[in-house]
Amino acid sequence: MMLYSLQAARDYEAKAGAEIATGLRPGFHLSARAGWMNDPNGFSYYQGLYHLFYQYHPYDSHWGPMHWGHATSRDLLHWSYLPAALAPDQPYDGAGCFSGTAVALPDGRHLLAYTGVREERGPDGVLRQIQTQNLAFGDGLDYEKYPGNPILSEKDLPADCSVANFRDPKLWRLADGSYRLLAAAERRGAGGVLLLYRSVDLVHWALVSTPAENRNRLGLMWECPDLFRLDGTDVILLSAQDMLPKGFEYHNGNGSVVLLGRFDPETGVFDEQSDHALDYGIDFYAPQTVQTPDGRRVMIGWLQNWDTCNQHFLHSPWFGQMSLPRELSVRNGILYQRPIRELEALRGEKQCFDGLRLENEVRTLPGLRGRMLDLELELRPAGPLYQRFAIRFAQDAACHTGVSFRPYESVLKLDRKFSGSRRAIIHQRRAKVRHENGALRLRLILDRYSAEVFVNDGEKVLSMAVDTPISADGLSFLADGAVALSVTAYRLNP
């Protein structure tokens, strides 16, 4: 097996990253320093900075042997790249350093917990993956893999779980100084299961419980679990492969899921009460959360989906970006998401268009254009209920991408089929939204190559990546029927 060198990755990314013009990256969403990015990893606050690592293949804009890329930020919007933190350079992780967590330890060290992948040929001659959990300790810049790795391996799995799917440790420290680790695994023939382990020394672990299992629903293998308490509710986040739709939920094949319920820290039992999709757009997967020093629970996800990625232009110098950081809260059995409040500091020039009346027309608004915008929209019927309202953006003669709303169906739709993508892939996603007789509030955040729509103050969110050339920066509004509209638009200056 070929092992990769961390120093080689660091040398390569410094050069390749510097060749990418900042104007051809998102302005305030973290993108791969060079090459490919998938899941956020090790999202943590350590020594006065937020650290975000990510699944990373620096040498190519397609997935490959996974490294951990690394960036830091003070406000979760302005990011500085740091040298890659992990490379697949050990016998137990030579096929990839997969997703995991970072924890600030009381002794001042920064701990990374990640999945090491190696490949082994079975007696049948078929190559299979061996996935184990591993540690690395560092100072926020350089990390050393623990010589006793792996700390969790096949022997720690229930007998009916497969070592080929055992990954993405979420590790945290309790007030009593002990640790918990939640990993995703797969029961042979029965799909995803979350395994909770306990340790006092980070090295010896005992299985406590299986807080959640898919029991033939919510897809097959589960990935990237997170668990936290918020507003009196316990929340599990996970990302599921091979999902089938359930009504208007889970239309993406691979999708992120919220489980709400009650977690008993003693027994490790999670009493699940409800589930819903985390994002109703096209591109969102594998989120992680961090607790900010002022107590907010903030989530970042990969602003892509395995079902639609790999369709990008082959010459792309980078591929993959993170979602906007989102502040979470639980209300009425729903996990709400709002753009992180630090975004307001990026607001520049403001334009207000109040009391507009659109009737069976497409309209542009004077001076309103751009690809980095924060738009607040309020719409309601101007007379009898309208058929459809839409906003189009990233628009020129050839391209546009849109968000439309049909109040009779209560359906909000994203559509990027004219966004200038390399080929026609999945380009639409619909969500049922709550409205009062056609009255609806939307906040739309545009950042060069993405659009994120927050409905009713974050009750639902729909996200997508867009490939449209930056020169397409027009916006227009469309009404079938008569719509009363007000628009507040801020130019975002990262």
Q: Are 476 and 362 in contact (CB under 8 A)?
A: yes
- Please state the separation of Cα 273 from the chain's center in Å: 24
308 is a site residue for ligand FRU (CB under 6 A) = no
* Tokens describing residue 383: 């007379």
Contact string (CB under 6 A) for ligand FRU, positions 210-239, x = contact: -------------xx---------------
Q: Could you tell me which of 155, 165, 151, 157 has the C-alpha nearest to residue 202? A: 151
Look at residue 89 and give its three-state secondary structure: coil
Q: Quick check: 67 and 88 in contact, CB under 8 A?
A: yes
Q: How far is the CB of 139 from ligand FRU (least distance, A)?
A: 24
Q: Which is nearer to ligand FRU, 41 or 404 (CB)?
A: 41
Q: What is the rounded CA–CA span in Å between residue 403 and residue 426?
A: 15
Question: What long-range pairs does 230-233 form, CB within 8 A, spacing at least 24?
Answer: 230/297, 230/328, 230/329, 230/330, 230/335, 231/329, 231/330, 231/331, 232/330, 233/260, 233/261, 233/262, 233/330
CB atoms within 10 A of CB 476: 18
Q: From residue 102 to residue 141, what is the string marking binding to ligand FRU with x (rule CB under 6 A)?
A: -------------x--------------------------
Tokens linked to 250:
């889970």
Q: Which of 66/483 has CB closer to ligand FRU?
A: 66
User: Using the rule CB under 6 A, is 99 a contact of ligand FRU?
Assistant: yes
Residue environment code for 238-251, b if the CB has 16+ CB neighbours within 10 A, otherwise e = bbbbebeeeeebbb
> Nearer to ligand FRU by C-beta: 228 or 285?
285
Residue 286 CB, shortest distance to ligand FRU, in Å, is 4
Does 98 sit near ligand FRU (CB under 6 A)? Answer: yes
Residue closest to ligand FRU, measured at CB? 98
Give the shortest CB-167-to-ligand FRU separation in angstroms. Answer: 5
| Closer residue to ligand FRU in complex, CB, 223/307 | 223
Among candidates 76, 13, 68, which has minimal Cα distance to 44? 76
Pick the catalytic residue from 39, 234, 275, 279: 39
The nearest distance, CB 482 to ligand FRU, in angstroms, is: 45
The contact mask relative to ligand FRU for 265-304 (x = CB under 6 A, - = no) is: --------------------xx------------------
Question: Could you tell me the sign of the dihedral formed by the alpha carbons of 139, 143, 149, 151, in that order?
Answer: positive
Question: Given the complex with ligand FRU, which of 181 and 487 has the nearer CB atom?
Answer: 181
Secondary structure, 3-state, 289-335? EEECCCCCEEEEEECCCCCCCCCCCCCCCEECEECCCEEEEEECCEE
- The beta strand positions in 47-109, using DSSP E, are 49-57, 67-73, 79-86, 96-104
Nearest approach in angstroms of CB 488 to ligand FRU is 36
What is the layout of strands, in order, in the sheet containing 110-121?
96-104, 110-121, 127-138, 143-145
Residues 53 to 82: which contact ligand FRU by CB under 6 A? Answer: 55, 66
Number of residues located near ligand FRU, criterion CB under 6 A: 13
- Residue 471 CB, shortest distance to ligand FRU, in Å, is 32
Radius of gyration of the chain (CA): 23
Choose between 38 and 44: whose C-beta lies nearer to ligand FRU.
38
Q: Residue count of the chain, please give it.
A: 494
Subset of residues 143 to 182 that bind ligand FRU, contact rule: CB under 6 A: 167-168
Minimum distance of ligand FRU from residue 55's CB (angstroms):
4
Task: Outline where 94-194 has alpha helix (H).
Answer: none
CB of 57 to ligand FRU, least distance (A): 9
Q: Is there binding between residue 39 and ligand FRU (CB under 6 A)?
A: yes
* Residue 75 annotated as catalytic: no
Which CB, 95 or 391, lies closer to ligand FRU?
95
Cβ closest to ligand FRU, residue 224 vs residue 399: 224
Query: Which spans of this chain sit near ligand FRU (rule: CB under 6 A)?
Result: 38-39, 55, 66, 98-99, 115, 167-168, 223-224, 285-286
Residues with catalytic function:
39
